[in-house]
Structure 1
Amino acid sequence: MDNNNTPLLDVRHMSIFFGGLHAIEDVSVHVNQGEFVGLIGPNGAGKTTFFNSITGYIKPTAGEIEFDGKSLVRKQPAVIANYGISRTFQNIRLFPKMTVLENVSIPMHSTPKYSIWSAMLGLPVVKQTQHETEERALEYLSILGLADQKDREAGTLPYGSQRRLEIARALAASPKLLLLDEPAAGMNNDECQELVELLRGIYKMFNLTVVMIEHHIDIVLRLCSRIYVLNLGQLLSEGTPKEIQTDPKVIKAYLGERRRRV
């Protein structure tokens, strides 16, 4: 973890109201450089809304959001992505008719390396850039175990492979902060175990800062150094995995209910 006292992500007193509905109310969260932070809570707690506010898909009603010293409030998603924030989605958002390789290549074209005239004239820089992009995309696919599927349409991949492809695409944007929205959704126990090892590996390999929403509590406890708990749009608790596991408020509102369902 960075010893700098300034958080990489600093959300202060953020509220999001949809008419009379308080989706998020006075929530403050900070994430330091190099942390792996969990965000948990019951369905409807406001977790994905929180992610959507950070990435510019929802505008906060009140409060401040700063990333790497820059305000994210009222910034467009494309601008925020260029600041260095990348994410996956609770509902997979791939381009199903494009190949696996093309899906991962897309984020690398966000900052053009040649002019429109170079493209129209077919100058060598265009072909060279495309070759370099494909080589880099293949590296990400190899890390996620998908290189042998590079020419397959993304929509034809098994569900678990689509989840990994979405992570590969998020990494291809070279983020400073990676937001993972339920990466283990729909996975069985063996797939969850593989995911833990995969996320641990890419976290270290790319020197990432990560915030993860996840309902598989075991995954959160194994990967995260700190955990925030949301309930009914409000911050219920924050602490280490051990502190969260033993917090009576969290057990009553979330963990206890999940244990009864197991």
Structure 2
Amino acid sequence: MLEAGVTIEKALAWARTILTENQISDDGVHDSAAIDSKVLLCAALGCEQVYLHTWPDKVPNKTQIQTFQQMIEKRILGYPVAYIIGFKDFWSLRLAVSEATLIPRPETELLVELALNLALPNTSQVLDLGTGTGAIALALASEQSKWSVTGLDKSHDAVNLAKKNGKDNGLPEVEFIQSNWFSSLSSEKKFELIVTNPPYIETDDYHLKMGDVRFEPASALTSGEDGLDDIRFIIHESVNFLVKGGWLLIEHGNRQGDRIADLLVSKGFSNVKIEYDLNEHARVTMGQFI
């Protein structure tokens, strides 16, 4: 327990030690115990991280210390940092998160980059399937103000959260609709671009019992024995909602690229290619409906 009068520097050292002792620590690339400690202390203090480095001898008040301790206790239990502090930064946006949605991840920014690099009309109709927090839809809209962007999610709570994130980030024009994939769309609706980060984990994958995903909604994570049930459905149905020359971009697991590419080709997509993230993992497979 932290004592009254502890400085920022000592509070961080305490948190890092206790998180490390509870194996909330180094992932082999980043010292996550130190990173988590700083993020949580900033949330408790209501400050940016530069404040911690500038004023290490500052003494937080009693309420701030109690809040910080409670946050660390939740982190020890495995609660994701984003759920503890209530938000996650993605692209240039700060997004509210809840346990009704997946936490936006940096890897998904590749999907946004690829979409923005396509030669699409200035007034394109864009669809984000399984929008969750609205991360992908809002990131695209923030960069292409003339695109008409729609996000769909079967979760009522997710749709409400995405709408809030749109308003909070100055993007209220992005439309969010409750829909089980394409079910709420008119059969006449067509899009130049469909993007999706759907469930793609195998239902018996052991990773589901590890890390942050233990606390995230299983319905947004798993999709059948091979993890491809939803992706098969999306590929099959997307041709009914794409214009000729429109693109479908799918984020997926790092061992699924070849199978998804085959599914796209078998459905008549051209220019099919697999794109890799910064860790050189297959992350997005895309194809053009010709």
TM-score, length-scaled by structure 2: 0.29
TM-score, length-scaled by structure 1: 0.32
Structure showing greater radius of gyration is 2
Higher relative contact order (CA 8 A, sep 6+): 1
